[in-house]
Amino acid sequence: MSHRILVPETSAPDMFLPMQGRSDIVLVRFGPKVSTSEFRALLGQVNAAILGVTPFADPELDAAPMLKAVARVGVGYDAIDVPALTRRKIPLLITGTANSVSVAEQALAFMFAFAKRLNELHTLVVERRWSDRLSCFPTDLGGKRVLIVGFGRIGSRMAKRCVAMEMDTRVYDPLITQDYVRAVGATPVPDLDQALGEADYVSIHCPKDASTINLFDAARLARMKKGAVLINTARGGIVNEAALAQALTSGHLSGAGLDVLESEPPEQGNPLVGLPNVILAPHLAGVTWEAWNRMARSAMQNVLDVLDGRPNREHTVNPQVYDAR
């Protein structure tokens, strides 16, 4: 018996390593410009689907009567209707820690860029303003206070790296035990608003859900320490972009490093685009070459495990489907 798996044409090379030596796997590929009707027609042929950012809900599931598993090449699943999958007893699988290091490193890169004033110092040299260099002092990260919001797969790795750099590392996450935070050398804080007023850097690593949408609104941004830097490598919508732009243009905050935006790519007129104290990236923090391959390989392995009857529950968003089968 063969299994037909829908995969993106743009998949990383390592995606296909887990299926080496297997003659029971047939790949069905879809391109980035596939139409909705073509995509749904392909779904009617497959037993599993591996997705990037393709939206997936009831209409797609209605078109896929043989579907047994859906896997994301990544850890976010904003575009997927999880309840719709759960009603049909179909698991949604994500790639665990495959990109956690990569995102943590990107958050650190934003911190370094602001502390060491990389853009400004580069401009001084290019514009032949060498003599102005003493007007543009970099700062140390060692000894500065960083507040990490969210202590999951990425936030915990971020904390370890900040502690290693001798930063005063504080963590806000009401869902984890304080001992877990202390174990990596960081300090848990119970009150987000109070902690914001004392942090030189704030790095967001919490999931996007009903409790975190607009978490950093105008009032909360105003509670941040004057001159602080805000970094978001989590999800757009956690930070109110209009309020952030105001905090940056007023001088209350000195900078923001953003890998994610509420609308991606940003809409015309987004107030953050073009601000000199904002560094933007196109939602690529978790997509280094190494992470891209790790995520692809993990996504394929997740699907094969389900098809083979030994699903990875730790990677499953809705593990209750296994018990309901």
Active site residues: 235, 264, 283
Element housing 203 (H / E):
strand 201-204
Q: Which amino acid is located at 288 in the chain?
A: T
Q: Which helix (H) or strand (E) holds 257?
A: strand 253-258
Question: What is the gyration radius of the CA atoms in the chain, in angstroms?
Answer: 22
- Cβ-based neighbours of 197, under 8 Å, separated by 6 or more: 223, 224, 225
The count of C-alpha atoms lying within 13 angstroms of the C-alpha of 121, restricted to the half-sphere facing its C-beta, is: 12
User: What six digits make up the tokens of 51?
Assistant: 């997705």
User: How are beta strands 278-280 and 187-188 bridged, if at all?
Assistant: unpaired
CB contact at 8 A, 83 and 89? no
Angle between helices 100-115 and 118-126 (to 10 degrees): 50
**Tokens at residue 23, please?**
């003659």
221: amino acid identity, one letter:
L
Q: Which long-range contacts (C-beta less than 8 Å, at least 24 apart) are formed by 117-126?
A: 119/279
Residue 155, beta-bridge partner list: none
- Alpha-helical regions (H) of 15-90: 36-43, 58-62, 82-87
